[in-house]
Structures are given as C-alpha cells and as structure tokens.
Structure 1
C-alpha cells in the first residue's frame, strides 16, 4: 500500500513540475506555438539557462508522454519516476519560474561621468578599473555610452606632431562626435531571461545592443545600479553549472 501511495505521489509531483516548466517556457520564449518541444528548441537557442537543461528536459518530455498518454485509470501510471528525477525536474521548474535577477550577473560598480567632466578623469578610470564602456550623464539623465574605442579614435584624429593636448578637453567634446551606442535602461526587478530577450530583439533589428543599464525603476534620470553587457551574459552559464 505504501509503495502504491509513493508511486502515485512521485508521478504527481513529476507531472506538476513538468506542467509548470511548460507554462514557464510559454512565457519566456513567447512564440505562437505552445508545443513543448518547439518551445524547448527555440528557447535553447535564445537562453543560456534553457540550453543548460535542454537534454534533461528532452528526456523528461518523453517520460511525461509515457506517464500521461498511457495512463489507464486514475492513480495508475505505466512508469514510476525515480525520486532523484523528480527532485531534478522540480529544481528546474523553480529556476524557470523564479529566474535570477539580472543584477546577479551585472557589473555592480558602474563608473559613470558627467558631460562636463575632464576627459583625463576617464583615462584615470580606464587605468584603475580597466572597463571599456562608461555611461555619460547630463542633468542627471543618461545620454549614452563613451567607450575606450571612442577615445582612442578621437585622440588619433587630434594628434599634432605626436602630441595630443588634453588639458581643456571635456567628455562632452568627444561624446558629441561619438556614433550612438545602442543601450537600454531597465528596472532592478528585471530577470536574466528578459535581459536575453532584449538582446535578441535588437539582434533581429540588426542592431547590436551594447549594454543594459539597470536603475531602481528603469528611468534614465536614476543612478545606475548595474550594467549588463553581452559579455556578462556568459556568466549565466557559470551560474548554473553543477
């Protein structure tokens, strides 16, 4: 009797977790096709976390079909999932339904400047922090990014007899000549799946999103709490390594 109850319980837990994952995939992948395998395939191409668990979920889908489609009566299952399998699919369900905040992979110490600041302060920051991108603000509003490449290009264009005079150069003098670097501003509540979707949407528009700046409420006139670049997305793989 106890074994029958345990078998039923494990199978029920497996089914519930699988259905929760299916619902999460519908929300995360957001395509006009609700089939589990299709959502899994598309999601794995777009999201590191889904790709991480692709093989397991592919096998669990086969087990789920056996459990559900071959069920003959209430409480009877043709197969019994092992407890470790049930625990694993429940863990995946929790990860998908409650994804980490994007701040968990963001550069937390964002170094930013005002347009009126001297360019030498940026050079000092480059030497100290080694960052390649720096948000620029004017009247508390984020105007965009200044990159090390922008600075090098400007210096190359203003060399006079191998000398570049930076004495009176302000960030705005260089920033006004910079080609726009696509950025997005997002609230601190944004999760890693949504961040990846933002990069994917820009890619579809044939634009390269260079950074997502995270603030308290996703407004341009708020202090940056973190910044996520395409390189930071690689951290997602390490976050969910066994």
Structure 2
C-alpha cells in the first residue's frame, strides 16, 4: 500500500527508479543509461517493447522533475495522479517474477524410442500437441513433430496404405532431420529464454523448443516446454 503523504513526484521517481533497476538486470550491459537500456530491451524483449512508448515519455518527465530540482524534497511540478498510478502499475509488472514456467506448456507428453507408433497416434489424438520430447534410457534424445510423422508416412505409402504395425518411434526419428532443442533450469526467466532464441537465430539455428527441467539436464523430468510461439503469445498487461 502506498503512503498517501508521499508527494506524487516522489512516488513517480521511486517507480521510475525501480523500472530502471529492472532494465539493468535484464539487459546486462555496461551502459546503464535508461534510454539505452530501453531501446535495446524493446528490440529483444516483448515486455519492454509493450511499454516502450509510455516509458519514453516517462523518461522525459523524470528528467524534467529531477534536473530542475532546486532543493531537497522540492520538485518543480507534480505529475498527475493517473500518470503516477500508471507507472507504479508498470513497475509492478517489471518487478514480479517472470519465470519461463509461467508461459510454458506444463503437461509435457513424452514418448519413448520403443513406443509403438500405433500408440503414439492415440496420444496425438488425445492431446493434440504438435511436438513431443523423445526419451531413451531416461535421457531426452530429441523431438518428434507431427509433421515428421506425416513426412515419414508419405515416403512409406504402399498402394495408398501405410502399415504402422511394427513401426516404433525410433524408426521415425532415425529417418527425419534433428530438431534443435535446449534444456534450461526451472529458475530461468522469460528474458533469458528470449535471449536463447535470439542467439540461436543469430547462429542461423532454428531452435524448436526449450525444455525446462529442475536443473536444466536432459535426464530430468520435463516440467515445461516453451516454443517461439509461446514467446509471441505472452500477454503482458498493467491494466
């Protein structure tokens, strides 16, 4: 609860400084000027981009309030209450934990290399997911996508029929291209996952999924799965 005896200008400055601190921790560069952090952050992270225009205007207001001070506790003007409450709401968004697990698919359905494809088809019908982590000897060894199954079937059609009776998952994944995936710990935040996708893109690698486990190891139970689409669909709001 905000104390009512604080000046609006003080409340505004506190919220602004909290956002500035958050930008420093997210962007992690030597130049910690607010505008620089904001510009870089808006290009890399959806949350920062969402509030870019507002924060640009608030930066101008903050500079006016702070640089024109003539004595301690004195501000040349008081911002409107609506402006103060808005920047406080944005600050609360920046400061709450943004764990990647919060946007991940939690019910991760995994398959084993020795699973029958007939059983796999049933799992796909039941869950409707488009990709499934594949395990062998309790280690994740890759990712199977429904498009891989369709591709395999198209190559193995005989007289308009595809016989899956003796086909196992390992038969499919041995015949399709490998899908790049990464393993990360449950403590990772959304910004780090966004950076991971961006860095892979710079290396011309199409990262298909990020699998979240307890400590980021491929022999641990998957706690969540994040795709590039999940990052696009993030709905940050301060309303």
**Counterpart check, 1:240 vs 2:237:** yes
- 1:101·1:191 contact (CA, 8 Å) conserved in 2? yes
Partner of 1:86: 84
- 1:14·1:90 contact (CA, 8 Å) conserved in 2? yes
- 2:93·2:238 contact (CA, 8 Å) conserved in 1? no
- 1:216·1:222 contact (CA, 8 Å) conserved in 2? yes
For residues 189 and 6 of structure 1, the distance between their equivalents in structure 2, rounded to whole angstroms, comes to: 36
- 1:99·1:192 contact (CA, 8 Å) conserved in 2? no
Partner of 1:56: 54
Alignment of 1:38-49 (within 5 A): 38-49=36-47
Change in 2 beyond 3 A, CA 1:116/1:6: closer
Partner of 1:24: 22
Partner of 2:105: 107
Structural RMSD (CA): 2.0
Shift of 1:241: 6.5
Structure 2 unaligned spans of 5+: none
Shift of 1:7: 8.2
For residues 52 and 77 of structure 2, the distance between their equivalents in structure 1, rounded to whole angstroms, comes to: 22
Partner of 2:216: 218
3-state DSSP of counterpart to 2:7: helix
Which protein has the bigger helix share? 1
For residues 187 and 76 of structure 1, the distance between their equivalents in structure 2, rounded to whole angstroms, comes to: 47
3-state DSSP of counterpart to 1:126: helix
3-state DSSP of counterpart to 2:97: coil
- 1:29·1:43 contact (CA, 8 Å) conserved in 2? yes
Of the candidates 183, 197, 200, which is equivalent to residue 198 of structure 2? 200
Change in 2 beyond 3 A, CA 1:241/1:86: closer
- 1:25·1:43 contact (CA, 8 Å) conserved in 2? yes
For residues 72 and 30 of structure 2, the distance between their equivalents in structure 1, rounded to whole angstroms, comes to: 32
- 1:8·1:77 contact (CA, 8 Å) conserved in 2? no
Shift of 1:240: 2.1
Shift of 1:42: 1.9
- 2:16·2:87 contact (CA, 8 Å) conserved in 1? yes
After superposition, the C-alpha distances for 1:163-217 in whole angstroms (9 at most, x for unaligned) are: 2211111101111222121111112222222221111111111112111111122
For residues 167 and 182 of structure 1, the distance between their equivalents in structure 2, rounded to whole angstroms, comes to: 29
Of the candidates 213, 226, 235, which is equivalent to residue 228 of structure 1? 226
3-state DSSP of counterpart to 2:167: coil
